């Protein structure tokens, strides 16, 4: 896990900043005198216009949106983390190793969180990167410089990407939405203060889901010559990339999505009658009764038909159906599955059904799966084992059929181990 650091020096400016600092909180005059601070309001990260003059990004205004309803009347539910920031409970600070005592306090607090939340990462390695002057850290800070989470990253501004090295929230502060809000802050800050447009990170199996929710993908389209040899390669990690959208302010993404949702609903209501609420049916006032579906007000208008009634009567798939479907598809597509695709032909092998008491093949398994006949994962596995065991019982070990059964069984067990039912594998 040695970092692939080259000797290239990145700019080390703006090493300690308050990001989106709430007006209700302050560091105090003494702190302002001793700490190099740059206030960056959530909507005012500066960029240059076409003439090279600095310009400010502004908040999204109703006039910017081409919608046919009053945006100001739209009720947008703010996330808990955003509300806590507005109330001054949490602050977001970008910190680097700039020899300032308060920087050391916050970096040390963040280091302790990473050591606890990332137990497989060597403590010496975490310490070295946290205090490395090429790295910056976006931290979530409460009163008295108490750090509750953060992201440590290394910017490669000339190459327009940054590597996220560590990302964690204290265990006592999770499920509050801090992780998403932290990443949104990082995106807006990095894009507003540099030329960086991409993030790369190596995620372990537990972190892949989080990064996917933050817009990361395992499809790397950034050319290798840009990042290869610059970022640290972790054994067992999954490389993921996030390319930031130039027109989106990520801290306002929920507002944009709420407006888009309202616009879609408004359009639907103009084209359909789905927004009409009908009163209850009087026929049921005196107890159970029968009524034809086409007599229910509004039902025909939403597209009801006889076929829908038949579909509704079909049994719902079992909770484990998706896993069984995946296992069956993988097994069916395996190169060694061809001898087991269909039932053994009685004319070709007359004595087969005298030797084999419970014959099973892939087409039979597929029929049972599609018709919801498997009551448990164990039943599905039992049928798969019958295919392999029947083949080995009837055929000599030197035959192709016997060898295909062995290969397919090994593959099946390997696929089963990768599911939540791995305890059933042999």
Locate CATH 1.20.920.10 in the chain.
321-424
pLDDT confidence of residue 43: 36
The DSSP output letter for 150 is E
In this prediction, residue 59 carries a pLDDT of: 53
Segment 170-228, tens digit of pLDDT? 988 888 889 999 999 999 999 999 999 999 999 988 889 999 999 999 999 999 999 99
Looking only at the bridges linking them, the beta strands covering 46-48 and 238-243 are: unpaired
Question: Are 401 and 407 in contact, with CB atoms under 8 Å apart?
Answer: no
The three-class DSSP label of residue 400 is: helix
Task: Return the CATH superfamily for domain 321-424.
Answer: Bromodomain-like (1.20.920.10)
CATH 3.40.630.30 boundaries in the chain: 17-48+57-253
- d(CA 202, CA 179) in angstroms, rounded, equals 17
Q: What is the pLDDT of residue 170?
A: 93
Any idea which residues carry the catalytic annotation? 163
- The set of long-range contacts for 33-36, using a CB threshold of 8 Å and a minimum separation of 24, is 34/100, 34/102, 35/100, 35/102, 36/98, 36/100
Is residue 93 classed as helix, strand or coil in its secondary structure?
A: strand
CA 191 vs CA 29, 85, 154, 329: distances in Å? 30, 21, 14, 43
User: What pLDDT is stored for residue 63 in this prediction?
Assistant: 52
Cβ pair 55, 47 in contact under 8 A: yes
Extract the tokens encoding 108: 């040390």
Q: In sequence order, what are the beta bridge partners of 164? A: 153, 201
Neighbours of 148 (CB within 10 A): 20
Give bridge partners of residue 154 from the DSSP assignment. 163
pTM of the model: 0.54
pLDDT value at position 175? 81
Helix (H, G, I), strand (E, B) or coil at 243: strand
Distance CA 19, CA 41 (A): 7
- Number of neighbours of residue 11 by Cβ within 10 angstroms: 9
Mean pLDDT in each 10-residue stretch from start to end of the chain (426 residues)? 36 38 32 31 42 50 57 76 92 94 95 93 94 95 93 95 95 88 96 94 90 94 94 88 92 87 85 80 86 84 78 80 94 94 91 93 94 93 96 94 96 93 89
Cβ proximity of 182 and 140 under 8 Å? yes
- For residue 239, how many C-alpha atoms fall within 13 Å in the half-sphere facing its CB? 14
Which residues, in sequence order, are bridge partners of residue 240?
A: 201
Which of 2, 1, 3 has its CA nearest to residue 230? 3
- DSSP codes, 277-333: PPPPPGGGTTS-----GGGSTTTTTTT--HHHHHHHHSPPPPTTHHHHHHHHHHHHT
Q: What does the buried/exposed string (b/e) look like for 28-51 if buried means 16 or more CB atoms within 10 Å of the residue's CB?
A: eeeeeeebeeeebebbebeeeeee
CATH 3.40.630.30 fits domain 17-48+57-253: yes
């Amino acid at each position: 896990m040695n970092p692939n650091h080259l000797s290239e020096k990145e700019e080390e400016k703006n090493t300690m900043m308050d990001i989106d600092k709430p007006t209700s909180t302050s560091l105090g005059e003494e702190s302002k005198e001793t700490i190099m601070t740059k206030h960056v309001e959530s909507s005012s990260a500066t960029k240059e216009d076409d003439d090279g003059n600095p310009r400010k990004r502004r908040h999204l205004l109703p006039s910017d949106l081409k919608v046919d309803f009053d945006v100001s009347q739209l009720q947008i539910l703010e996330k808990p983390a955003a509300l806590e920031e507005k109330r001054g409970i949490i602050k977001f600070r970008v910190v680097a190793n700039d020899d300032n005592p308060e920087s050391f306090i916050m970096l040390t607090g963040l280091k302790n969180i990473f050591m606890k939340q990332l137990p497989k990462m060597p403590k010496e390695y975490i310490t070295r990167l946290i205090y490395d002057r090429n790295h910056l850290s976006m931290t979530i800070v409460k009163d008295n410089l108490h750090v509750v989470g953060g992201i440590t990253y290394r910017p490669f501004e000339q190459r327009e990407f940054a590597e996220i090295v560590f990302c964690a929230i204290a265990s006592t502060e999770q499920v509050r939405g801090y992780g998403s809000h932290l990443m949104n802050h990082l995106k807006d800050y990095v894009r507003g203060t540099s030329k960086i447009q991409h993030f790369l990170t190596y995620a372990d199996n537990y972190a892949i889901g989080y990064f996917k929710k933050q817009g990361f993908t395992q499809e790397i389209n950034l050319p290798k010559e840009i990042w290869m040899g610059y970022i640290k390669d972790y054994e067992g990690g999954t490389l993921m990339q996030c390319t930031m959208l130039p027109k989106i302010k990520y801290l306002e993404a929920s507002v944009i999505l709420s407006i888009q949702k309202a616009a879609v609903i408004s359009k639907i209501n103009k084209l359909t009658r789905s927004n009409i609420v009908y009163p209850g049916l009087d026929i049921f006032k005196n107890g159970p009764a029968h009524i034809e579906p086409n007599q229910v007000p509004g039902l025909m208008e939403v597209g009801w038909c006889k076929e829908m009634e038949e579909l509704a009567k079909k049994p719902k798939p079992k909770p484990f159906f998706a896993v069984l479907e995946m296992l069956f598809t993988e097994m069916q597509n395996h190169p060694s599955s061809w001898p087991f695709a269909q039932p053994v032909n009685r004319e070709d092998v007359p004595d087969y059904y005298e030797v084999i008491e419970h014959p099973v093949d892939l087409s039979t398994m597929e029929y049972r799966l599609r018709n919801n006949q498997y009551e448990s994962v164990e039943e599905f596995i039992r049928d798969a084992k019958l295919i392999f065991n029947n083949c080995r019982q009837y055929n000599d070990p030197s035959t192709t059929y016997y060898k295909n059964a062995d290969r397919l069984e090994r593959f099946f067990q390997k696929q089963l181990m990768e599911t939540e039912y791995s305890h059933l594998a042999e």
